[in-house]
Structure 1
Amino acid sequence: MSFEVQIKRIQGNEDIELPRKMSELASGFDLYAAVTEDMTLLPGQRGLVPTGIAIAMPGGLEAQIRPRSGLANKHGVTCLNTPGTIDADYRGEIKVLLINLGQEPFMIRRNERIAQMVFQIVPEVSLLQVDELSETERGAGGFGHTGTK
């Protein structure tokens, strides 16, 4: 199955790399920082990082913004609301909410890879209100219900 997603560079960001997959079988497109000057995230600090791009997807798709594993592993930098959702009707600039959970300040430079964007199919779902739900073995067991080991 193939979908066409339009991409537009926001004016003033002609030098920013367009999202791209870093290997043939990668599922995510790397996103690049479009900061106008270096941005430092201190430990525990969060920041909204522009990417300099906007997209137009057909209905039935969503784009999910996810952390880059290398940034998380090496620096403790991750996306705060992960996965972040970009709906098919959004046409504004994609921005990434990063947080520094590491021990050292982290510098974000222009055109640095900061996150990845993964496209997902969104099923059409209808919610049906009922008075009772079917029973299952788990029932209402939630957080920690199946044990800690």
Structure 2
Amino acid sequence: MLLRVQALTPEVRAMYAAHGHYHEGDSGVDLFVVQDQEIQPGETAFVKLGIKAAAFTPAEGGEREKNVSWLIMPRSSISKTPLRLANSVGLIDAGYRGEIMAAVDNIKTVPHTLKKGDRIVQAVAFSGEGITLELVDELNKTARGEGGFGSTTCPAGEPEMKKAKNDVAN
């Protein structure tokens, strides 16, 4: 799978250009936390990863490459932290072009601080095939665009979790 990554800042682009935790053919490519963030006990937080990304299957025999969905999965080392992915595995639809984020729960009774450069999640192809990472200046446009986290079921693209919290508060 080819994963095209558009970094949202020059600093994030430099992080991916010097990605030392990625080897051609790996089934998972680690994604970086791009800013310090403290997550309180019991809190569900959105961790912005500072990138937009699109996945493609390679073109073969005159065919065009195909835009495909992909997964965000926890790295095994996340088990050393009090964090868990709130949705267990994140599905990134083929047409999504917004910022990639990870929704995480702090399941312990103490705050946990993520530091810029930490790696808690990874991009994975459905097939488990190897991933080639390509930095690009811009991604192709899609009908879906930047709507994510429940945008197809909530009014005005409001994230599902925010809507649920508001419903409980009212």
Short-chain TM bin: 0.5 to 0.7
Across the aligned residues of Structure 1 and Structure 2, the Cα RMSD in angstroms comes to: 2.4
Correspondent of 1:70 among 50, 54, 77: 77
With structure 2 as the length reference, what TM-score do the two structures score?
A: 0.59
Q: Which runs of 5+ in 2 are unaligned?
A: 57-65, 128-170
Give 1:48's aligned amino acid: F
Correspondent of 2:107 among 91, 101, 107: 101
- Alpha-carbon offset, residue 4 of structure 1: 2.6
With structure 1 as the length reference, what TM-score do the two structures score?
A: 0.66
- Alpha-carbon offset, residue 10 of structure 1: 0.7
Q: Is 1:68–1:78's contact at 8 Å kept on the other side of the alignment?
A: no
Q: Aligned ranges for residues 51-90 of structure 1 at < 5 Å?
A: 51-58=49-56, 59=66, 61-72=68-79, 74-90=80-96
Name the SS of the counterpart of 1:43 in structure 2. coil
State the alpha-carbon separation in 1 of the partners of residues 123 and 28 from structure 2: 5
Identity of aligned residues (%): 28
Give 1:99's aligned amino acid: D
State the alpha-carbon separation in 1 of the partners of residues 21 and 75 from structure 2: 12
List structure 1 segments (4+ residues) > 6 angstroms apart after TM superposition: none
- The aligned length equals 116
Name the SS of the counterpart of 1:93 in structure 2. coil
- Alpha-carbon offset, residue 21 of structure 1: 5.1
Q: Is 1:75–1:102's contact at 8 Å kept on the other side of the alignment?
A: no
Q: Residue by residue, what CA displacement relative to the aligned partner does 1:84-117 show, whole Å, maximum 9, x if unpaired?
A: 1111111111011111112321101111112111
State the alpha-carbon separation in 1 of the partners of residues 13 and 24 from structure 2: 24
Q: Quick check: 1:7 aligned with 2:5?
A: yes
State the alpha-carbon separation in 1 of the partners of residues 84 and 99 from structure 2: 20
Taking a change above 3 Å as real, the CA distance of residues 100 and 85 of structure 1, as seen in their structure-2 partners, is same
User: After alignment, is 58-67 or 7-16 more displaced?
Assistant: 7-16
